[in-house]
Amino acid sequence: MSTASVTNGNGPSLSYPEGLPDRVAPLETEALAGGMRILFAVMLAAGTLLVLGLLVNAPQFYHSYLFGYVFALDISLGALFWVLIHHVADAGWSVGLRRVFENLTRAIVPLAVLFIPVLIGTFSGNLHAWYAFVHGPEPSEEHLQHLWHVKHVYFNTPFLLARLAVYFGVWIAYATAMRRWSLKQDAVGGAALTRTMQWWAPSGVVLLGVTSTFFAFDILMSLQYSWFSTIYGVYFWVGGLRGSLSSCVLIVLGLRAAGYLRQTITMEHLHDVAKLMFGFTVFWAYIAFAQYFLIWYGNVPEETQFYLLRRNGDWYTLSILLPILYFVVPFFVLLPRAHKRNPQWLAFAAAWILAMHAYDLYWQILPVLHNDTVHLHWLDIAAPLFFLGVVLASTFWGFANYPLIPIRDARLNETIGYENETP
C-alpha cells in the first residue's frame, strides 16, 4: 500500500496507508467529549455513593466493591486472552478487532491500584472470614485443626501478597508489552514485531490461565474458605471470555453507529465473534453443570456447602434462574445464523450476556454476606457502574490517542474484505 501522512490533533503523527476503506485515525476529542462527560458524571456519582457506603455500612461496601471490581477485571483479563490467542493462532480475520481488545486491557493498570480496598477489606475482617480463622490461635476442634494448618500456610500474609503481586505483574507485563509492540508496528511496519508477539503469546496464554485461576481461588473461592472445587478457576475465566467478547461487540457496534470502521470491521467479522459468543455460552453451561453435578453426586460436606448456601430464601430462585438466563436465553438468541449477522440481535445478545455475567458474579459473592436471602443494596448498583466506567474510560482513552486498527499489521489486507464462507 502507498502511504499518506496524517497528523492527528490528539494522537501521534503517523503515515497511514492509502486505500483503507475507513478513516482509522484516533477518535477526535470533539466526538468523544459529550460521551466522556456523561461517563465521568456517572463514575463520579457512583464513586461518591461508594464512599458514602463505606461510612455507613462497611461490610456491604466491601462485598459490593468486590462484586463490581471482579466484574471489570474479568472483562479486561478476557480481552488480554483474546489479544494473546490472536497471535497464537496467527489469525488474519481478527486483525481489525485486535485494537479493541488491546484497549480493553488498558484497564488492568488502574484496576491494580483499585485492588487496595479489597486488601483493606480482607485484612480488616470485613470481607474474607478466613483472615480471622487462619491468623487466630489453632482451633481446639479436631476437625478444624488440619484445615487451620493448611490454610495458615497458604494464606500467610507475605505469601498471599507475593502471589497477588505475581498475578498483576504478569497481567500488566503482557498487556503492556503486546500493546506497545502493536503500537510500535503502526509506526515502523514490517513483520518482525508480529513475530515477536507470536513468540511471546503462548507463554502469556499459559500464565494468564494459571494466574487467573489462582486469583479466583484466592479472592473469590476463599469467601467460603473451607469450600473445595478444582474447576472453579475455569468457571471464573470463561465468564471473562464471554464478558470481553460482549464488550467488544458493543464497542464495535457503537463505533460503527458513529460512522467509524463500517467497511473495516464488517458484519462478517462480527458474525465470527458471535460464533465465539455462542460457543462459549455452551462451554460455560458445560463447566457450570460439571461443577454442580460432581459436587451433587459426591455429596461431600466440604463441597456441597457452596450450593447449600445458595438454596436459602430468594437465593434459591436466583440459582434456578441463572442457567436459564445465562445459558438458555443467549443460546437460542445466538443460534440462528441470521441473528449473528443482525446488529440489533447481536447488540441485544451482547448486552444480555454482559448483564448476566454481572448477575453470575453477584450470585457468587453476595450470599456470603447475606446468608438468609437476597438483599439488593444500592451499593450493588453503584459498584459495577463505577468499575464499568473505569474500563470504558481506559478503552476510549486508547481510541482517542492511537489508531483505531493496527494500520501496518502485515495481515491487514486479510481482514479488510474478509467474508465468511456461505453455508
Q: 214: domain range? A: 3-415
Alpha carbon 181 to chain centroid, angstroms: 22
**CB–CB of 82/101 below 8 Å?**
yes
Q: Which amino acid is at 378?
A: W
- Give Rg (Cα) of the chain: 22
Residue 420 placed within a domain? no
C-alpha triplet 161, 162, 167: angle, nearest 5°: 95
Residue bearing cell 476463599: 222
Query: Beta strand 13-17 with 3-7: parallel, antiparallel or unpaired?
Result: antiparallel
pLDDT at 7: 42
C-alpha triplet 69, 73, 79: angle, nearest 5°: 155
Q: Nearest-CA neighbor of 325 among 285, 377, 364, 286?
A: 285
The DSSP code sequence of 73-120 is HHHHHHHHHHHHHHHHTT-STTHHHHHHHHHHGGGHHHHHHTTHHHHH
Residue 181 placed within a domain? yes
d(CA 192, CA 183): 13
**CB–CB of 363/319 below 8 Å?**
yes
Non-local (6+) Cβ contacts of 53 within 8 A are 60, 61, 64, 377, 378, 379, 382
pLDDT in tens, the chain (423 residues): 444 444 444 555 788 888 888 889 899 877 788 889 999 999 999 999 999 999 999 999 999 999 999 999 999 999 999 999 999 999 999 999 999 999 999 999 999 999 999 999 999 989 999 988 988 888 888 878 888 988 989 999 999 999 999 999 999 999 999 999 999 999 998 899 999 999 999 999 999 999 999 999 999 999 999 998 989 999 999 999 999 999 999 999 999 999 999 999 999 999 999 999 999 999 999 999 999 999 999 999 889 999 999 999 999 999 999 999 999 999 999 999 999 999 999 999 999 999 999 999 999 999 999 999 999 999 999 999 999 999 999 999 999 999 999 999 988 988 988 887 655
Residue 370 placed within a domain? yes
Residue 122 placed within a domain? yes
Non-local (6+) Cβ contacts of 225 within 8 A are 128, 129, 130, 133, 134, 151, 155
Residue 421 placed within a domain? no
Q: Which amino acid is at 194?
A: T
DSSP helix/strand/coil, 421: coil
Residue 349 placed within a domain? yes
Q: Is 90 left (phi over 0), alpha (psi -120 to 50) or beta?
A: left
pLDDT at 419: 86
pLDDT at 44: 97
**CB–CB of 358/381 below 8 Å?**
no
Question: Per DSSP, what are the bridge partners of residue 5?
Answer: 15
Q: Is 313 left (phi over 0), alpha (psi -120 to 50) or beta?
A: left
pLDDT at 11: 52
The DSSP code sequence of 141-161 is SHHHHHHHHHHHHHT-HHHHH
Residue 387 placed within a domain? yes
d(CA 175, CA 72): 15
Domain total of the chain? 1
Number of residues in the chain: 423
pLDDT at 22: 87
Predicted model pTM: 0.94
d(CA 225, CA 298): 19
Residue 423 placed within a domain? no
**CB–CB of 71/358 below 8 Å?**
yes
